[in-house]
Amino acid sequence: MYGAITDHFSFADTNNKLQSSDESPAKSESQCQDSKGTIILSDFYDTTHQIEYTCVYRHCSDTAVILYDTIAVVDVRLGKIVNNIVINSITVTPTNTDRLEITIAGRGTGASDSDVAKFNPADLEISGVRKATPIGAIAGANTVVTGSTGTASCEVATVADSDGLTGVTIEVHSGRVEATTDFVGTTGVPAGLADTANGFELLSGIGEAETNTDFSTGAITAVKNLPRM
């Protein structure tokens, strides 16, 4: 079969073009050994809900990315269950050379969407214009932004039933955004700050890398904890 066809998260539309789709089945094995360490029995379990799913999209519009909007009927919040997949990661990557890339990932579940908490990844709803956009950071004087990567993620806790099947009951927690923005200093050392006005805190300060053939570069990593919805 040619092309990326399976949109696991039902996110592709006229603005967001599906680029790739991945499904990674997994299962667990239980083994029984005899007195000499020889495996004499084995059994596989949890063959349904350990599957990991990932889809990559390109945002092909100058309008802002929409990840959650009740009017536009778009919902890929963390904790949202789509096609029996709970979303646990969303990554947005704007650069100065290409259209913005969006990666959504999740794992299989048999839980009901109404039973699971949500986290809103609104900090990743940035402009779709082809340009490098800071996420969670502000560029200082004589400094330009060359790219950034912002990831909203949450942890998924699962409960196994009597046969070892996980994912029938789940809970999500620890929702947060972690973003790294890359800078170049045009006349000296690059400068930048965490965007504290929008709730971000500095995780790692701006470093500096110098070579004898290029301008000085640096990066900031900032984090923001997300409230449950």
The reported pLDDT for the residue numbered 158 is 82
In this predicted model, what pLDDT tens digit does every residue of 16-67 receive, in sequence order? 999 999 998 777 788 999 898 899 988 877 766 678 999 999 999 999 999 9
Residues in the chain: 229
Q: How far apart are the first and last CA of the chain?
A: 40
d(CA 200, CA 42): 49
Give the global pTM.
0.90
Is the pLDDT confidence value at 167 over 70? no
Is the pLDDT confidence value at 91 over 90? yes
In this predicted model, what pLDDT tens digit does every residue of 40-52 receive, in sequence order? 988 877 766 678 9
Q: Cα torsion at 73, 78, 80, 85 (round to 10°)?
A: 120
Other residues' Cβ atoms within 10 Å of the Cβ of residue 18: 19
d(CA 207, CA 209): 7
Name the nearest CA neighbour of 123 among 146, 92, 95, 98.
92
In this predicted model, what pLDDT tens digit does every residue of 114-139 receive, in sequence order? 999 999 999 999 988 888 999 999 99
Is the pLDDT confidence value at 151 over 90? yes
Residue 214 burial by CB count (10 A; 0-12/13-18/19+): exposed, middle or buried?
exposed
Decide which of 28 and 142 is more confident: 142
List residues bridging with 41 in a β-sheet: 32
